[in-house]
Amino acid sequence: EVQLLESGGGWVQPGGSLRLSCAASGFTFSRYAMTWVRQPPGKGLEWVLDISPSGDTTYYTDSVKGRFTISRDNSKDTLLLQMNSLRAEDTAVYYCAKATWGQFENWGQGTLVTVSS
């Protein structure tokens, strides 16, 4: 059974940093692209970042370029999201998802990031 477990969410002040992790199990992690999707409270889903199976290619939505970095450790079946210069509008539940051609078959339970002073 595929399992994705996010961790690292919490409260941070504007301008601060946070690092999210997603532990994967139940599939060959190194064979799949992975994605972070976020959902602000009461709002819709927003794709944020993608990373290729090997980790050598990444894609970002414009609003996080230069602030967020996606990476992965295939030896530990772990997806990472480093978030810097956080803004109030980054407040959301962050989901990691297993991706195939931009389609997401499996999702984690999500971790809430709150950016507020």
Q: Rule CB under 8 A: which residues touch other proteins?
A: 35, 37, 44-47, 50, 59, 61-62, 95, 100-110
| DSSP sequence for 47-59 | EEEEE-TTSS-EE
Smallest gap from Cβ 43 to other proteins, in A, equals 8
Whether residue 16 contacts residue 33, with contact meaning beta carbons closer than 8 Å, is answered with no
Smallest gap from Cβ 60 to other proteins, in A, equals 8
> Nearer to other proteins by C-beta: 29 or 108?
108
> Nearer to other proteins by C-beta: 29 or 36?
36
Dihedral, 56, 57, 63, 69 alpha carbons, nearest 10: -10
Smallest gap from Cβ 13 to other proteins, in A, equals 27
Using DSSP, state whether 19 is helix, strand or coil.
strand
